[in-house]
Amino acid sequence: MDEIKIGIDNESKGFLAAYSKTPPEMLEKLARDENEYVRMEVAESKNTSTKALEKLSYDENKDVRHCVAHNPNTPPETLAKLADDEWVGVLGGLWQKMKTLHL
């Protein structure tokens, strides 16, 4: 069962993904949700595992990839892969992250 099917709507799943105390295991399940808003919230969460961030770096939605690029926990290997992204917004996310790292 890849998607969470507990009878909650996409907005509620998005709030769950954005909640600072949502455990990484739940975020990994939410990372596979069909709704891009939910996946964006997962990609932005500081509790999201590097494994889930790596998976989301291949997301079909450019805004999800942008959120992965901007997440402070995204590993360097995933950032290097995102540097080749065709959408400039993903590169903008990388630039913002580099500024926070003072590189």
The pLDDT value given to residue 85: 77
Name the domain count of the chain: 1
Measure the CA–CA gap between 15 and 56, rounded to whole angstroms: 18
42 vs 87, residue with greater confidence? 42
Whether residue 2 is contained in a domain is answered as: no
Supply the range of the domain harboring residue 23. 10-101
pLDDT tens column, 46-61? 999 999 999 999 999 9
Whether residue 70 is contained in a domain is answered as: yes
Residues belonging to the chain: 103
Whether residue 3 is contained in a domain is answered as: no
Whether residue 63 is contained in a domain is answered as: yes
Whether residue 1 is contained in a domain is answered as: no
73 vs 91, residue with greater confidence? 73
Q: How confident is the model at residue 92 (pLDDT cuts 50, 70, 90)?
A: low
- Which distant-in-sequence residues (6+ apart) come within 8 Å of 97 by Cβ? 69, 70, 71, 72, 74, 79
Residue 31 host element (H or E): none
Q: pLDDT over 70 for what percent of the chain?
A: 77
The pLDDT value given to residue 1: 42
Q: How confident is the model at residue 86 (pLDDT cuts 50, 70, 90)?
A: confident
The pLDDT value given to residue 55: 97
Task: State the CATH number of the domain containing residue 87.
Answer: 1.25.10.10
Measure the CA–CA gap between 10 and 77, rounded to whole angstroms: 30
Measure the CA–CA gap between 79 and 12, rounded to whole angstroms: 29
The pTM is what? 0.81
Q: How confident is the model at residue 6 (pLDDT cuts 50, 70, 90)?
A: low
Whether residue 60 is contained in a domain is answered as: yes
Residue 54 host element (H or E): helix 50-56
